[in-house]
């Protein structure tokens, strides 16, 4: 399913790219755009993860992993049932993280230095689990491809003013409209996928780390930090904003309709509801196993077998009301040992 969505998205982006080529250069421009799009598809599929990591100045975690990030990622990847991705650190004070890669076998998780400083170990586990969920669901391929294509389409639309062919076909107003609506169409393709996949990754990430509240509190902390601290690399490459766990951009004057991420409060509310449901199930499970629970029929509170009420007594068994045979003998006080 992940590969099918990626193929459909790449086809849509290619069609949009070809349409722009036709408007810029006619049939010849469309053919050129098709060739360029085909080359971009191949190049993006194999190298986009490296490109995105380079855009954000991420570097691989070395042997001096004083945060224990590599071990944390490896343990959570095992919980998720995927290969351990490469681990990168972004030199940015803004707390944030993203995942990239064309498939789970060729993936990477990148976290910022600000994130490592702002979150607890449990909250960090929730964030990493969220990114691993994206990798597990092949969302990273979709995100990486859309980021590359959206940037290329925006660039091509801006070139329209420098080519006479588009102005002859569309006029100045049409060319300006193309410059506005072509990047918007590419952005809408991104958002259609990104916003729904964030909820799915939150849910799967909570299951991977084992506690939805870890991710919920992490999202709240990251949202507050991202609102206060700039991310120059993300501002320079806004087409990659949808890859982050929280929108790193501050130009959020646009309406929520054009946001690459769902509202943080909605995501947190969904995670808290998930924790409440999990807590109820755990309470019911503990109640069933608790010694205070009502014992099953035919067993005593401590687990010994209780005779059934309708069972017939043995012929040689004494009557329940008869005195014990040794009841008439005097009781002797036992000797006290050295321990008292």
Q: What is the pLDDT along the chain (340 residues), one digit of tens a residue?
A: 455 766 676 677 777 777 777 777 777 777 777 777 677 767 777 877 888 899 999 999 987 788 899 999 999 999 999 999 999 999 999 999 999 988 899 999 999 999 999 999 999 999 999 999 999 998 887 776 666 666 677 666 666 656 555 545 555 666 666 667 666 766 666 666 677 788 989 999 999 999 999 999 999 999 999 999 999 999 998 878 888 999 998 864 444 545 678 899 999 999 999 999 988 665 454 444 434 333 333 333 323 333 343 444 445 555 545 555 554 545 444 444 333 3
Instruction: Note the pLDDT of residue 333.
Output: 46
- Residue 104 forms part of a structural domain: yes
| C-alpha to C-alpha distances, 18 to 96, 99, 251, 321, nearest whole angstrom | 35, 29, 30, 99
- The reply to whether 333 falls in a domain is no
Token readout for 281 is: 């199930």
Does 130 belong to an annotated binding site? Answer: yes
The Cβ of residue 285 has, within 10 Å, a number of other Cβ atoms equal to: 10
Is residue 201 included in any domain, yes or no? yes
Among residues 97, 59, 89, 69, the alpha carbon closest in space to that of 222 is found at 97
Question: What is the pLDDT, as a whole number, of residue 45?
Answer: 74
| 301 burial type by CB count under 10 A (0-12 exposed, 13-18 middle, 19+ buried) | exposed
Three-state DSSP at 333 gives coil
Total tally of structural domains belonging to the chain: 1
Q: 326 lies in a domain?
A: no
Domain assignment of residue 265, given as a range: 2-284
Q: Which two tokens stand for residue 57?
A: 């100045």
**Contact by Cβ (8 Å): 141, 10:** no
Spot the catalytic one: 131, 168, 220, 281: 131
Question: From residue 189, how far is each of 12, 98, 164, 196, 202 by CA, in Å?
Answer: 8, 19, 29, 12, 21
Helix (H) or strand (E) holding 106: strand 106-112
How does DSSP classify residue 305? B
Cα atoms in the 13 Å half-sphere on the side-chain side of 251: 9
For residue 78, tell me if it sits in a domain: yes
Q: How far apart are CA 252 and CA 339, in angstroms?
A: 77
Domain assignment present for residue 323? The answer is no
> Torsions phi, psi of 152, nearest 5?
-65, -40
Q: Are strands 86-90 and 58-60 parallel, antiparallel or unpaired?
A: antiparallel
SS3 at position 230 = coil
220 is in an annotated binding site: no
pLDDT at 308: 41
> CA–CA separation, 110 vs 29, rounded Å?
38
The alpha carbon of 90 is separated from its chain's Cα centroid by a whole number of angstroms, namely 18
Q: How many CA atoms lie within 13 A of 48 on its CB side?
A: 28
Q: 């810029």: which residue's tokens? A: 24
CA 30 to each of CA 7, 15, 24, 186: distance values in angstroms, whole numbers, following the listed order? 20, 10, 8, 18
Q: Is 235 annotated as a binding residue?
A: no
d(CA 274, CA 271): 5
Q: How much is the pLDDT for 338?
A: 35
Q: For residue 301, is it within any domain?
A: no
Instruction: Judge contact between 17 and 156, C-beta under 8 A.
Output: yes
Active site residue 265: no
Cα-based distances in Å from 6 to 29, 102, 150, 215: 25, 10, 14, 27
Q: What is the structure's pLDDT at 142?
A: 74
Task: Identify whether the C-beta of residue 124 lies closer than 8 Å to the C-beta of residue 116.
Answer: yes
H-state helical runs in the chain: 2-55, 69-80, 113-118, 121-136, 139-158, 164-209, 212-228, 232-236, 264-289
Residue 334 lies in a domain: no
* Main-chain dihedrals φ then ψ at residue 156, nearest 5 degrees: -65, -40
Place of tokens 């929730």: 126
């Amino acid at each position: 399913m992940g590969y099918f969505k990626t193929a459909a998205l790449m086809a849509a982006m290619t069609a949009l790219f070809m349409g722009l080529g036709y408007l810029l250069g006619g049939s010849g421009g469309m053919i050129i755009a098709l060739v360029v799009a085909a080359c971009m598809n191949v190049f993006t599929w194999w190298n986009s993860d490296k490109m995105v990591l380079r855009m954000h100045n991420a570097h691989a975690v070395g042997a001096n992993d004083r945060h224990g990030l590599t071990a944390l990622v490896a343990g959570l990847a095992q919980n998720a049932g995927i290969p351990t991705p490469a681990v990168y650190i972004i030199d940015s004070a803004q707390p944030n993280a993203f995942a990239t890669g064309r498939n789970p076998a060729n993936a990477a998780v990148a976290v910022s230095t600000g994130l490592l400083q702002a979150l607890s170990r449990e909250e960090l586990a929730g964030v990493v689990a969220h990114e691993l969920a994206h990798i597990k669901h092949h969302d990273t391929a979709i995100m990486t491809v859309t980021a590359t294509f959206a940037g290329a389409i925006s660039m091509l639309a801006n070139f329209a003013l420098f080519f006479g062919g588009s102005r002859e076909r569309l006029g100045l107003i049409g060319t300006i409209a193309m410059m506005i609506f072509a990047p918007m169409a590419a952005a809408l393709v991104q958002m259609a996928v990104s916003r729904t996949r964030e909820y799915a990754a939150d849910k799967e990430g909570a299951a991977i780390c084992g506690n939805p509240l870890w991710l919920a509190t992490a999202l709240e902390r990251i949202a507050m930090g991202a609102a206060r601290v700039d991310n120059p690399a993300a501002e320079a490459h806004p087409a990659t904003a949808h890859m982050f766990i929280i929108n790193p951009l501050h130009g959020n004057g646009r309406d929520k309709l054009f946001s690459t991420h769902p509202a943080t409060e909605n995501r947190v509310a969904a995670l808290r509801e998930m924790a409440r449901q999990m807590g109820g199930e755990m309470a019911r499970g503990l109640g069933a196993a608790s010694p205070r629970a009502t014992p099953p029929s035919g067993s005593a509170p401590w687990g010994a077998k209780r005779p059934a009420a309708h069972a017939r007594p043995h012929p040689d068994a004494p009557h329940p009301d008869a005195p014990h045979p040794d009841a008439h003998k005097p009781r002797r006080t036992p000797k006290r040992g050295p321990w008292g």
